[in-house]
Every structure is written in C-alpha cells, then in structure tokens.
Amino acid sequence: MSTPASGSALRGVQRMLHLALVGLAASIAALLSHVVIDVAGDYLLKRDAYDGIAHGSRGIFVIAIAALTLAVAARLICDLLDRRCGSAASLLRLVRCSLGKPLAFIAQTLVAAVVTLIAMEMFDCLAAHVTVHRAADLLGGSLPLGLSAVFVAASLTGWLVHRVVAVVSEREPEIRNLICYLMTLTLCAPESARVTKRPAAAHSIARALLLSARGSKRGPPLPIPV
C-alpha cells in the first residue's frame, strides 16, 4: 500500500516529467523554427534580422535537447525495471494521462516554443553585441513570418511527442521484456566467453608443460670410441 509521502513524491516526479516533455517539444520546435526563419527570411524579407549574427544558441540547444531526452528516457526505463508487475499505475501511463488531449499539449508547447525562440535570439544578440531595436527582430524581422514558423513547428513537435508517449505507454510490457532480455544477454556474454576460453587456455598450459618436460630430459648417450 502506498503511503501519502510516496504518492506525493510520485506526483512530483509526474509533474517534472510533464514539464520536461513540454520543454523537449518546445526546444525542438524553437530550434526548427529558428532555422526556418533564418532561411526563409533571405527570400521573403527585405531585412532579415538574423543575418550577420552568429547563432551559437543552436548548438547549445542541440546539446540540451539530447541531454533532456536521455534524462527522461533514463527515468522512465528505471521505473520500468523497478516494477515487478505490469501495474496499470505505472509512471509512464500517469505521465501520459497528465498530458491530456493532443490540442492541450500542443498549446502548451506553442507558448513555451515562442518564449524559447525569443530567448535563443536574445542570447545570440547579446553574444554578438547587437542591439535589439524592435520586438520583431527577435523573430527574424517579421512577426507574421516568425509566429507562423513557430506555430507550425510547435504543432508538429507537440503532436509527435504526445503520440510517441502514447504509443510507448501502450507497448510498455513489450519494451520492458526487451530491455530485460538485452540486459540478460549483456550479463551472460562475459561468462560464456570465459567458459569458451578455458579449454583453450588449459590446452595451452598443458602443451607448455609438455614441451618444458621434454626440454629438461637428457639426450641419448654419446657413442664410446673403441
């Protein structure tokens, strides 16, 4: 039976994972829209605010997205391996329920993506010592272009992350069995290798001892001259 403290801790982890998934979807959307705005602005805008500025924030966000993805995956995999039965109240399924409908999750992703995109460009401008004169400059120089790009990107990434969580939660028992099987193979491989190597090692030792024994024996006696 779960105690109130354990239930509160589980809800806290659930909220953290919910926020992490929103942040993951928003970060991917902001990164994609930043690239799209930079490329499209060269053709659609007379003045592209992203030109002439080094975009170091993109590399930072690639690393952050990879780290956040590994952190979420590791936490969910640990929950899969810790549970001894296929309980319906798994952490992954609780997180899936907390995400709600896809439209609600996409709306959260969109708001977070707009803020993240603005933060990315502010970082680039500060790093390049460029003064921001208009709010539109943080979106490539055009509010319609910037907002439409981030809207499309957030819709795609929000739906994709929501769908991935739903599919993985439905296949949770199969994924757990696969992980356990792979871990079993990994743990048994060194032992089988040692068993395979033992006869060869014993044969080599026996051969070395035999040659040593033969080398220590005296040869036949020399003939005695008559």
pLDDT of residue 226: 46
The reply to whether 89 falls in a domain is: yes
Query: Mean pLDDT of residues grouped by 10 in the chain (226 residues)?
Result: 64 90 97 96 88 92 95 87 58 86 96 97 94 90 95 97 92 82 76 53 58 54 50
Domain annotation covers residue 193 = no
46 located within any domain: yes
Q: What is the dihedral of CA 73, 76, 77, 82, to 10 degrees?
A: 160
Q: The domain containing residue 17 runs over which residues?
A: 7-184
User: Could you please report the per-residue DSSP string of 194-216?
Assistant: HHHHHHHHHHHHHHHHHHHHHHH
pLDDT of the residue at 85: 46
Q: Per the domain annotation, does 75 fall within a domain?
A: yes
Which two tokens mark 140? 């490539």
Evaluate whether residue 195 is within a structural domain.
no
Question: Does 209 reside within a domain?
Answer: no
pLDDT of residue 8: 74
Q: Per the structure, how many domains does the chain have?
A: 1
Q: Amino acid identity, residue 137?
A: D
pTM for this model (two decimals) = 0.77
